[in-house]
Structure 1
């Protein structure tokens, strides 16, 4: 007689049928999606090369024997006093004062990356705090903070930035660099904060937030323990997309002569200098312009790729498979 246990089908755990099937964390899933984006990987390599170029700026100065602020009128200028083009001594040519464009571009990459990342991180921190407080607390605080962000977005940021730079008249490189970062962060946090505010207003209506309230959790714990962890993906993507905007902002200020002070080179300042002699010395304009284009394009494409990779509702890179 057949027993009841023999009639029941044998249950086999899924992992026993296929040992390769393993659970993956959201970060692993995001990395898997990101790796499928070949364009993003290419520009990730480009961005890494630019970062290495910036970090090795002192080595370039040592290898060429051309400090970034040193002038070489005998070797960097021709008999007519015009800058020489790319050659064995000056790989990317020289500028109007006989300074090495390669070395100055490497140090300019340092300034652009430092300002872009520092300003974006500062704006992100301020935007997250303001947006979280406004979205979760609500009431009068939300009204005040929302109006502050609206006013900030309505200000002519470039005109005010130029006015601040001319008014304070900072002379040191460190002071001008700090002021540039603060100014860019001040005019960038509002757009960041508005997006975070909207996300927080949506999250605070979720069931798990209601459950936390019913268990007696206070407002601050809910904001920083329950709400903010659910905004990591949005904050990461917004910050990565804010970096190229900050780099362009800094280049614009330096192009107009109110950014980072000389003798520290900046891509924006190099563009301003190169635009004056572009017809006879094209490399002075092309070199910083290409570097600026590649850097901002790389950050933008990587930001888009990170957004797609961290989106749990769809896998655009794999065609929805």
Structure 2
């Protein structure tokens, strides 16, 4: 892995392991999980749609902010004219009630905001959590106590309440997507810091880390060259599970009115405006709600698949049986008859060993003497 790891290998050991073997094993385990592959496909399509939002709306000939009052029936309170919310060749999914803005354009642009905020907030959480966790594990007693107590305070803070309080007092001139990203990232890094600290404490006692320390490496070099590669699996696993949580938090904040503000499209902000139109224009509520449900479900399934693929014990636990390993190295189950016969043989051996005519008894000694 590195110079320090090679220093503790036996002299006759062949350490020529392909560098990509870990990646190959990960992909092999991930390909074996069909649900995770299907979820990864859905996530890739959602990301592609979010990135290609300008191209898709250009193909439709619409944009997410233009009003179309001619498509609204003002006599009915602003309900879109036509069936299915005014869906047609010009507006693929129909238009919004009251405003007439194109629903397809707002939905794909909303994917950019929701996914972008969630991914950026996850990056902030991982960066702060890894830094604090590694510094706490490698620092002295006072540094560890200080950072651990700060992490406990962050973990105990309710995310939604603190986010509502912070977003409510910040001026509206600050870009809301950036603000929501920072608020989520700066409040919810405590759990990953605890995970990284515990993993670092277990890694720093290994032989190759001790060899690096004896070689004169400083703490920064040991952390970067020896500890961070070992932290990759748990950090990636937890980060994959953080993304759907952050999407739900952003949608909830926008739904409560303190997140992304109109006219910037967001799935949570669309749900806020659709709560009074679920009967007159149900597609206005069902489309962003369905997009949120599919995205969170796909990311959750994919994160669970990543966790299983990165954990080498996950597959082995599924293959562990209750059989007994015999002398040839094969594992087989012992039948009831065989077990009973073995028990009778053991009892017979025990009785013969304890009988007066056994080899260890006084009578047997006399017979041997004669």
**Does TM, normalized by the shorter one, top 0.5?**
yes
> Where does the alignment leave 5 or more consecutive residues of structure 2 unmatched?
1-17, 322-370
**Change in CA separation of 1:115 and 1:176 when aligned onto 2, cut-off 3 Å:** same
Contact kept? 2:159, 2:188, Cα under 8 Å: no
- Which of 148, 151, 168 is 2:150 aligned to? 148
Cα offset, 1:191, TM superposition: 0.9
- Which of 82, 85, 88 is 2:79 aligned to? 82
Equivalence map 1:241-252=2 (5 Å): 241-252=241-252
Q: Which has the higher contact order (CA 8 A, sep 6+)?
A: 1
**Change in CA separation of 1:162 and 1:245 when aligned onto 2, cut-off 3 Å:** same
Equivalence map 1:147-186=2 (5 Å): 147-171=149-173, 175-186=175-186
**Change in CA separation of 1:94 and 1:320 when aligned onto 2, cut-off 3 Å:** farther
Contact kept? 2:71, 2:80, Cα under 8 Å: no
Contact kept? 2:237, 2:303, Cα under 8 Å: yes
**Change in CA separation of 1:23 and 1:66 when aligned onto 2, cut-off 3 Å:** closer
| Aligned-partner Cα distance in 2 for 1:316–1:280 | 54
Deviations 1:73-118 (A, max 9, x none): 2125475221341521332222121111111000000001111111
Contact kept? 1:135, 1:200, Cα under 8 Å: yes
| Aligned-partner Cα distance in 1 for 2:217–2:53 | 51
Cα offset, 1:66, TM superposition: 2.1
**Change in CA separation of 1:77 and 1:148 when aligned onto 2, cut-off 3 Å:** farther
| Aligned-partner Cα distance in 2 for 1:216–1:108 | 52
Residue 121 (structure 2) pairs with residue 119 (structure 1): yes
- Which of 28, 53, 56 is 2:24 aligned to? 28
| Aligned-partner Cα distance in 2 for 1:23–1:121 | 26
Deviations 1:173-218 (A, max 9, x none): xx21111111010122111111101101111122222222222222
Cα offset, 1:320, TM superposition: 6.6
CA-based RMSD of the aligned residues comes to: 2.1
> Where does the alignment leave 5 or more consecutive residues of structure 1 unmatched?
1-21
Q: How many residues align?
A: 298
For the residue of structure 2 that corresponds to 1:313, the secondary structure is helix
Tell me the equivalent position of 1:9.
Answer: none
Residue 263 (structure 2) pairs with residue 267 (structure 1): no
Q: Which runs of 4+ in 1 moved over 4 A?
A: 76-79, 316-321
Residue 99 (structure 2) pairs with residue 103 (structure 1): no
Tell me the equivalent position of 1:65.
Answer: 61
Residue 304 (structure 2) pairs with residue 308 (structure 1): no
273-282 or 190-199, which deviates more? 273-282
| Aligned-partner Cα distance in 2 for 1:116–1:319 | 36
Q: Tell me the TM-score normalised to structure 1 length.
A: 0.87
Cα offset, 1:316, TM superposition: 6.0
| Aligned-partner Cα distance in 2 for 1:198–1:295 | 31
| Aligned-partner Cα distance in 2 for 1:273–1:153 | 32
Deviations 1:244-265 (A, max 9, x none): 1111111111111111222110
Cα offset, 1:226, TM superposition: 1.0
For the residue of structure 2 that corresponds to 1:315, the secondary structure is helix
| Aligned-partner Cα distance in 2 for 1:292–1:260 | 15
Q: Tell me the TM-score normalised to structure 2 length.
A: 0.76
